[in-house]
Protein backbone atom coordinates (compact mmCIF):
# COMPACT_ATOMS: atom_id res chain seq x y z
CA UNK A 1 0.00 0.00 0.00
CA UNK A 2 1.45 3.33 -1.08
CA UNK A 3 1.11 6.37 1.16
CA UNK A 4 1.83 10.07 0.70
CA UNK A 5 1.34 13.20 2.76
CA UNK A 6 -0.84 15.97 1.42
CA UNK A 7 -0.90 18.79 3.95
CA UNK A 8 -1.79 17.31 7.31
CA UNK A 9 -4.09 14.72 5.72
CA UNK A 10 -2.44 11.34 5.24
CA UNK A 11 -3.56 9.85 1.91
CA UNK A 12 -3.53 6.12 1.24
CA UNK A 13 -3.65 4.23 -2.03
CA UNK A 14 -4.79 0.74 -2.87
CA UNK A 15 -4.36 -0.22 -6.54
CA UNK A 16 -4.11 3.46 -7.39
CA UNK A 17 -7.35 4.43 -5.63
CA UNK A 18 -6.48 7.28 -3.30
CA UNK A 19 -8.48 7.72 -0.18
CA UNK A 20 -8.01 9.55 3.07
CA UNK A 21 -8.42 7.89 6.41
CA UNK A 22 -10.73 10.85 7.09
CA UNK A 23 -12.86 10.44 3.95
CA UNK A 24 -16.45 9.57 4.62
CA UNK A 25 -17.75 6.58 2.69
CA UNK A 26 -19.71 4.27 4.86
CA UNK A 27 -23.19 4.00 3.38
CA UNK A 28 -24.28 1.32 0.93
CA UNK A 29 -23.92 3.48 -2.18
CA UNK A 30 -20.40 4.54 -1.20
CA UNK A 31 -19.32 0.94 -0.60
CA UNK A 32 -20.86 -0.01 -3.95
CA UNK A 33 -18.98 2.84 -5.66
CA UNK A 34 -15.72 1.74 -3.99
CA UNK A 35 -16.20 -1.83 -5.28
CA UNK A 36 -16.83 -0.54 -8.83
CA UNK A 37 -13.69 1.65 -8.65
CA UNK A 38 -11.58 -1.18 -7.26
CA UNK A 39 -12.70 -3.62 -9.95
CA UNK A 40 -12.13 -0.95 -12.61
CA UNK A 41 -8.53 -0.55 -11.42
CA UNK A 42 -8.19 -4.33 -11.77
CA UNK A 43 -9.48 -4.08 -15.39
CA UNK A 44 -12.53 -6.16 -14.55
CA UNK A 45 -15.73 -5.18 -16.31
CA UNK A 46 -18.82 -4.72 -14.16
CA UNK A 47 -22.27 -5.03 -15.74
CA UNK A 48 -24.17 -4.32 -12.53
CA UNK A 49 -23.98 -4.45 -8.74
CA UNK A 50 -27.23 -5.28 -7.00
CA UNK A 51 -27.51 -4.78 -3.25
CA UNK A 52 -29.73 -7.27 -1.43
CA UNK A 53 -30.17 -8.51 2.12
CA UNK A 54 -29.07 -12.09 2.77
CA UNK A 55 -29.30 -13.52 6.26
CA UNK A 56 -29.26 -10.09 7.90
CA UNK A 57 -26.20 -8.94 5.94
CA UNK A 58 -26.03 -6.77 2.85
CA UNK A 59 -24.88 -8.61 -0.26
CA UNK A 60 -23.19 -6.69 -3.06
CA UNK A 61 -23.95 -9.02 -5.97
CA UNK A 62 -21.56 -8.22 -8.83
CA UNK A 63 -22.52 -9.21 -12.39
CA UNK A 64 -19.43 -9.46 -14.59
CA UNK A 65 -18.21 -11.29 -17.70
CA UNK A 66 -14.85 -11.71 -15.90
CA UNK A 67 -16.15 -13.86 -13.05
CA UNK A 68 -13.35 -16.43 -13.37
CA UNK A 69 -10.84 -13.72 -12.39
CA UNK A 70 -12.83 -12.71 -9.31
CA UNK A 71 -13.86 -16.16 -8.08
CA UNK A 72 -10.65 -18.16 -8.51
CA UNK A 73 -10.17 -21.77 -7.47
CA UNK A 74 -12.84 -22.78 -4.95
CA UNK A 75 -13.65 -19.10 -4.37
CA UNK A 76 -10.15 -18.13 -3.16
CA UNK A 77 -10.04 -14.84 -5.12
CA UNK A 78 -13.55 -13.92 -4.02
CA UNK A 79 -12.62 -14.61 -0.40
CA UNK A 80 -9.56 -12.33 -0.80
CA UNK A 81 -11.63 -9.58 -2.44
CA UNK A 82 -14.12 -9.70 0.44
CA UNK A 83 -11.27 -9.56 2.95
CA UNK A 84 -9.61 -6.54 1.30
CA UNK A 85 -12.80 -4.52 0.90
CA UNK A 86 -13.94 -5.30 4.47
CA UNK A 87 -10.56 -4.27 5.91
CA UNK A 88 -10.66 -0.93 4.10
CA UNK A 89 -14.29 -0.24 5.07
CA UNK A 90 -13.56 -1.33 8.65
CA UNK A 91 -10.57 1.03 8.96
CA UNK A 92 -12.60 3.90 7.53
CA UNK A 93 -15.47 3.17 9.94
CA UNK A 94 -13.09 3.24 12.90
CA UNK A 95 -11.55 6.56 11.76
CA UNK A 96 -14.98 8.04 11.17
CA UNK A 97 -16.27 6.96 14.59
CA UNK A 98 -13.09 8.24 16.30
CA UNK A 99 -13.76 11.66 14.80
CA UNK A 100 -17.26 11.62 16.33
CA UNK A 101 -19.20 11.02 13.12
CA UNK A 102 -22.03 8.55 12.65
CA UNK A 103 -21.24 5.21 11.02
CA UNK A 104 -23.75 3.05 9.13
CA UNK A 105 -24.69 -0.38 10.49
CA UNK A 106 -23.24 -2.02 7.36
CA UNK A 107 -19.77 -0.68 8.11
CA UNK A 108 -19.82 -0.32 11.89
CA UNK A 109 -19.61 -4.04 12.63
CA UNK A 110 -16.01 -3.77 11.45
CA UNK A 111 -14.93 -2.41 14.81
CA UNK A 112 -13.32 -4.49 17.57
CA UNK A 113 -12.10 -7.20 15.21
CA UNK A 114 -15.55 -8.13 13.91
CA UNK A 115 -16.19 -8.19 10.20
CA UNK A 116 -18.42 -5.51 8.67
CA UNK A 117 -21.94 -6.79 8.01
CA UNK A 118 -21.75 -7.21 4.24
CA UNK A 119 -20.24 -9.51 1.66
CA UNK A 120 -19.52 -9.49 -2.05
CA UNK A 121 -20.86 -12.18 -4.38
CA UNK A 122 -19.96 -12.65 -8.05
CA UNK A 123 -22.52 -13.98 -10.55
CA UNK A 124 -24.33 -15.86 -7.77
CA UNK A 125 -21.28 -17.95 -6.83
CA UNK A 126 -21.64 -17.59 -3.04
CA UNK A 127 -25.35 -18.40 -3.18
CA UNK A 128 -24.72 -21.58 -5.21
CA UNK A 129 -21.77 -22.52 -2.99
CA UNK A 130 -23.89 -22.02 0.15
CA UNK A 131 -26.56 -24.37 -1.26
CA UNK A 132 -23.86 -26.94 -1.99
CA UNK A 133 -22.56 -26.68 1.60
CA UNK A 134 -26.12 -27.07 2.96
CA UNK A 135 -26.59 -30.20 0.83
CA UNK A 136 -23.31 -31.60 2.17
CA UNK A 137 -24.45 -30.80 5.73
CA UNK A 138 -27.77 -32.58 5.14
CA UNK A 139 -26.07 -35.72 3.78
CA UNK A 140 -23.44 -35.83 6.53
CA UNK A 141 -26.07 -35.13 9.20
CA UNK A 142 -28.08 -38.12 7.97
CA UNK A 143 -24.90 -40.22 8.06
CA UNK A 144 -24.29 -39.19 11.70
CA UNK A 145 -27.90 -40.11 12.58
CA UNK A 146 -27.86 -43.44 10.70
CA UNK A 147 -24.59 -44.66 12.18
CA UNK A 148 -25.09 -42.83 15.52
CA UNK A 149 -21.54 -41.54 15.37
CA UNK A 150 -19.62 -38.30 14.88
CA UNK A 151 -18.80 -37.25 11.31
CA UNK A 152 -15.76 -35.08 10.61
CA UNK A 153 -15.90 -32.92 7.48
CA UNK A 154 -13.06 -31.74 5.27
CA UNK A 155 -11.36 -28.42 6.16
CA UNK A 156 -13.33 -25.42 4.94
CA UNK A 157 -13.55 -21.64 5.15
CA UNK A 158 -15.00 -19.88 8.18
CA UNK A 159 -17.99 -18.83 6.07
CA UNK A 160 -18.78 -22.43 5.11
CA UNK A 161 -18.33 -23.57 8.72
CA UNK A 162 -20.79 -20.87 9.79
CA UNK A 163 -23.33 -22.18 7.24
CA UNK A 164 -23.03 -25.70 8.66
CA UNK A 165 -23.29 -24.54 12.29
CA UNK A 166 -26.43 -22.54 11.36
CA UNK A 167 -27.89 -25.50 9.46
CA UNK A 168 -27.80 -27.73 12.56
CA UNK A 169 -28.70 -25.05 15.11
CA UNK A 170 -32.24 -26.41 15.64
CA UNK A 171 -31.34 -30.12 15.48
CA UNK A 172 -31.87 -31.79 18.87
CA UNK A 173 -29.88 -34.92 18.06
CA UNK A 174 -26.91 -33.27 16.30
CA UNK A 175 -24.42 -30.68 17.49
CA UNK A 176 -21.52 -29.12 15.60
CA UNK A 177 -18.06 -28.10 16.69
CA UNK A 178 -15.14 -26.56 14.80
CA UNK A 179 -11.78 -28.26 15.38
CA UNK A 180 -8.26 -27.76 14.06
CA UNK A 181 -6.30 -24.62 13.31
CA UNK A 182 -5.76 -22.37 10.31
CA UNK A 183 -6.40 -23.95 6.92
CA UNK A 184 -7.04 -27.31 8.62
CA UNK A 185 -10.04 -25.99 10.62
CA UNK A 186 -13.09 -28.16 10.02
CA UNK A 187 -16.52 -29.05 11.40
CA UNK A 188 -17.37 -32.19 13.34
CA UNK A 189 -21.06 -33.14 13.34
CA UNK A 190 -21.66 -34.88 16.67
CA UNK A 191 -24.49 -37.31 17.23
CA UNK A 192 -26.22 -36.69 20.59
CA UNK A 193 -27.99 -39.71 22.09
CA UNK A 194 -31.58 -38.97 23.11
CA UNK A 195 -31.57 -39.06 26.95
CA UNK A 196 -35.38 -39.41 27.17
CA UNK A 197 -35.53 -42.92 25.68
Q: Average the pLDDT over 7-29 and give the result.
A: 53
Per the prediction, the chain carries an average pLDDT of 82
Please report the pLDDT score of residue 127 as a whole number. 87
3-state secondary structure of 192: coil
Q: Please report which confidence band the pLDDT of residue 8 belongs to, taking 50, 70 and 90 as the band edges.
A: very low
Q: Please report which confidence band the pLDDT of residue 20 belongs to, taking 50, 70 and 90 as the band edges.
A: very low
Q: What angle do CA 86, 22, 44 make, to 5 degrees?
A: 45
pLDDT tens digits for range 25-73: 468 888 899 899 999 999 999 999 999 987 778 899 999 999 999 999 9
Backbone angles phi, psi at 135, to 5 degrees: -65, -40
Q: Average the pLDDT over 99-127 and give the result.
A: 71
- Show the domains of the chain with their CATH numbers: 2-123 (3.30.300.20), 129-191 (3.30.1370.50)
The 3-state secondary structure of 60-108 reads: EEEECCCHHHHHCHHHHHHHHHHHHHHHHHHHHHHHHHHCCCCCCHHHH
Please report the pLDDT score of residue 110 as a whole number. 47
Question: Residue 9 pLDDT > 90, yes or no?
Answer: no
Is this structure's pTM higher than 0.85? Answer: no
Query: Which has more pLDDT, 22 or 114?
Result: 114
How far apart (Å, rounded) are the C-alpha atoms in residues 99 and 116? 19
Q: Measured in whole angstroms, how far is the alpha carbon of residue 5 from the centre of its chain?
A: 32
Please report the pLDDT score of residue 122 as a whole number. 97
Residues in the chain: 197
Kindly state the percentage of the chain with pLDDT values over 70: 74
Amino acid sequence: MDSRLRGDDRRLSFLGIWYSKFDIFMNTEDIKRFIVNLLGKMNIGVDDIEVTNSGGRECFSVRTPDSYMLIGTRGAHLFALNHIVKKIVSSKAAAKKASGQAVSETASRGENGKEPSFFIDVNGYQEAAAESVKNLAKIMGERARSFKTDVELEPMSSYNRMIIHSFFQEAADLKTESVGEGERRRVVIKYVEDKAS
